[in-house]
Amino acid sequence: MEEKKIKILICDDSSLIRKQLKDLLINMDCEVIEAADGLEVVGIFKEVQPDVVFMDIVMPKADGLEALKHIRAYDQEAKVIMLSSVGTSTKLVQALKNGAMDFIQKPYTTEQISKVITDIRKLALA
């Protein structure tokens, strides 16, 4: 039986991050949807119900921590990985308190992303 593809939502205002992360995730056989700001991502999340969200923090309209709060309020089980250049103590603690599953400091490595996907696949099989 064919394995169901993992559905990933990438939210970043940088088209570079969206493109490169999307290319990487497609190579890992994932289905990818994109959002460009912290407001758009909440609507798209409700619509597509992704398995995991990669979320930037500093973004226009609403920042990633705010978006994370809205998403977790809508779905307590939502898996959101913060992917940001601002990995300060304050942001890290705030993200974890808001329910982030993990925090990856940019620039990310292929290994970091690959580990997330492996973990999500394991959770899906459990």
Partner 1 sequence: MFNQHFGQYLLNHQKITAKQLIEVMDYERSVRVKLGVLAINAGLMTGAQVETVHQLQRLKDKRFGELSVEQGYLTYAQLEDLLQNQHSRHLGLSQVIIDKEYLTLEQLEAALISYKQDSRPSGEQLQTMDVMDLGQTDFTAAGSQGKVYHDYMGLLQRNIIRFLDANPVIGKNELVGHTVSPWLIQQKITGEINLFTGLAMDDATLLAIARQYSGEPLTEINELAKDSATEFLNMVNGIFCVNASNQGVELDLQLQEIAPNQMPMFKNGYRIPINLSFGKMHLILSVGE
**Cα Rg of the chain, angstroms:** 13
Distance CA 60, CA 111 (A): 28
Q: What is the three-class DSSP state of 93? A: helix
Distances (CA, A) of 86 to 30, 70, 75, 90, 97: 26, 20, 25, 9, 16
Instruction: Choose the stretch contacting partner 1; rule: CB under 8 A; options: 24-32, 44-52, 70-78, 83-91.
Output: 83-91
Instruction: Choose the stretch contacting partner 1; rule: CB under 8 A; options: 3-11, 25-33, 73-81, 96-104.
Output: 96-104
Residues 10-39 that bind partner 1 (CB under 8 A): 13-17, 19-20
For residue 97, state whether it binds partner 1 (rule: CB under 8 A).
yes
Instruction: Choose the stretch contacting partner 1; rule: CB under 8 A; options: 2-10, 46-54, 69-77, 103-111.
Output: 103-111
Kindly tell me which residue out of 69, 72, 106, 121 binds partner 1, with binding defined by CB under 8 A: 106
**Cβ-based burial of 106 (10 A; exposed 0-12, middle 13-18, buried ≥19):** middle
- Which CB, 39 or 87, lies closer to partner 1? 87
End-to-end CA distance of the chain: 17
Residues that bind partner 1 (CB under 8 A): 13-17, 19-20, 58-60, 84-90, 92-93, 96-97, 101-107, 115
